[in-house]
Amino acid sequence: MFENIILNEKTGLPEGWALHYSKSKQREYFVNESTKESFWDPPAETDLAKLKQYLIENPFAVQAKHILIKHEGSRRPYSHRSAAKITLSKEDALKELTKLRKQIMEIEDETERFEKFDEIAMKRSDCGSSKNKGDLGIFSKGMMQPSFENIAFQLLPGEISDTFESDSGVHIVWRVA
């Protein structure tokens, strides 16, 4: 039926179609570049498996959870959890977070690993998201600090980052979706 359709090798979309992102709807949409019409659903000729893989590897938006440990040099060095002023050194914050990440990553069962992540985020993270198990929800590019965003968008769903630093402190991130 669609034998003469040329598909984009990366996205799986038919030639002449482009993928865009709606920040207001927080989802992708599809534009026929010749007619300028836009649609929420991909064109019928789309290779859906390629499109899905492309969106996983090149997301417009991600959902992530994180654990943040602030230190005395952090931007706004106060814990959202306790409202206390942070006096921890950057080195000690990094040591603590490295130890916590190791505890998480030593768990082989993925469900148990993510439960441990949630537990630590609620008990130890200095971010206001700690009450939501570290969940930052869905965010698109340009909404987070660049160092944080770069890490979150490099991960695949289900991956947990190494420790890294932002202006807010030291983090580990779990890309949920």
> Which residues are known catalytic residues?
66, 127, 145, 168, 171
CB 27 within 8 A of CB 140: no
Whole-angstrom Cα distance, residue 104 to residue 98? 10
